[in-house]
Amino acid sequence: MLIIDGNSLTIEDVIKVCKDYEKVKLSPSAEPEMNKSRSFVDKVLNESRTVYGITTGFGELANKFIEPSQGERLQLNIVRSHAAGVGTPFDEDVVRGVILLRANALAKGHSGVRISTVNALLDLLNHRIYPFIPSQGSVGASGDLAPLSHLALVLIGEGECIIDGKRTETPEVLKKAGLSPIKLLAKEGLGLINGTQVMASLGCLAYNRANILLKNAQIAGAMSLEALKGTAKAFDPKVHEMRPHPGQLKCAANIRNLIANSEIISSHANCEKVQDAYTLRCMPQVYGAVLDTITHVGRVLSIEINSATDNPLIFPDSDEAISGGNFHGEPLAFIMDFLGIALSEVANISERTIDRMVNPHKSGLPAFLSRENGINSGFMVAQYTAASLVSENKVLSHPSSVDSIPTSAGQEDHVSMGTTAARHARDITRNVENVIAIEMLAAAQGMDFWDMKPGIGTKIAHDLVRKHVPFMEEDRIIYKDMEIVRELVDTGVVVDAVEKQVIIN
């Protein structure tokens, strides 16, 4: 059971809730601050004060005073009118992250939302209810208004959920779970839909996958180094101590550990080759920079998932409701763009390595990794697939955060496009997983042409691939092999097996 208080959530907690259906409960320690901020909202209504979102309209309509008696209608209308998303729905793991992160933000006690409303959000998680949230429609400025509104609809018994892959009307879903719709009071509609939780959920999931993916990339790269009979010299710690970026140092050590005791590597220690191509020689410099980027992404996300990102924020101790801009997604937009760019580079170097392995003019291996080439095409078109994905990533990794488009009659005149950046980072991650799977599959094939023992870590990875996919003696349907290895990559099976013997930082 995860206990949330608005201040101590970790990315690992988010992943457990998203992927493992960890149950969640509101901490009693959060309740005093939540009650104080709710009392402030009631005070505003009783005194008929002009406070944005409580007794005013929204966006450009902030200058419209709303009578306190119309507060509930105002909140209901904002949820209905802002539920304007389009496109395919977010996956369930993303939606679970959204619910958790919105509840955690409200638990900070600066949003004026009742404890019972946060508990209603947590009921959705704990009953495994999957709200229908379309993936397009957020500009990432006044938070993720459209997608969060689709979530809020479910709380009030409207909108839709997804059951067994089908869109189902919410009342039926709530009734089956033994839950009742809630009635939104003043400030609660706005409090539910104003925040960065969609892009943050996408970000946490992408960050988690990126960490696993980069370890797989280093394993695949070390296997390729063996398949291409590369040298270990480029990974000498003396070289990397002269340019001590943390990620570079770690990656060089990882490669050294993976190829330790390799007969393949040591078999050509004094050959005529002076140096390897950049794809092999520069893995620490490239993958190390990616690792440093992922680390930065994690730092920003760790702050964001414990932040209050709606507007206005309530500070009952100073009797204030302050309109600010914490809903603006720029911090997340930047890191999601940066993550997408970094992961695209992982695919770039991986695809070039695949090409080098299938090219007999560069590899020293049979053409397209097939003994009887000509009658067999081997890995020829698997490399085409990797090239296609790499080219697609070049489009997806164009920074979304450099774009902006005004909304709400110019009141919201600069937006982050952070949710688009996060969606693209997610899509890039999926593409890179496929590229790394192809490299790992090709590298295992290449290693089999050398009748020598590979390194400690590369042998484990090679043997695991071979446990699921046999050596390709002659052409067969290759996409099935690619799917099998992609699953091993995506689920972390290869990493888990290797890390039982070899440390990968």
* Residues recognised as catalytic: 52
65 to each of 51, 52, 57, 321, how far by Cα in Å?
Answer: 9, 9, 7, 16
Q: Is 9 exposed, middle or buried (0-12, 13-18, 19+ CB in 10 A)?
A: buried
How is residue 82 written in tokens? 């802002």
SS3 301: helix
Cβ atoms 347, 339 nearer than 8 A: no
What one-letter code names the amino acid at 363? S
Residue in the block written with tokens 């042409």? 449
- Of 43, 41, 44, 73, which is closest to residue 57 (Cα–Cα)? 73
Cβ atoms 30, 109 nearer than 8 A: yes
Contacts of 339 (CB under 8 A, 6+ apart): 203, 206, 207, 210, 293, 294, 297, 425
CB burial string 56-81: b at 16+ within 10 A, e below: bbbbeeeeeebebeebeebbbebbbe
Cβ atoms 143, 126 nearer than 8 A: no
How is residue 130 written in tokens? 């999957």
The interaxial angle of helices 170-177 and 145-155, nearest 10 deg, is: 50
CB burial string 416-427: b at 16+ within 10 A, e below: bbbbbbbbbbbb
d(Cα 426, Cα 206) in Å, to the nearest integer? 6
Contacts of 462 (CB under 8 A, 6+ apart): 223, 443, 444, 447, 454
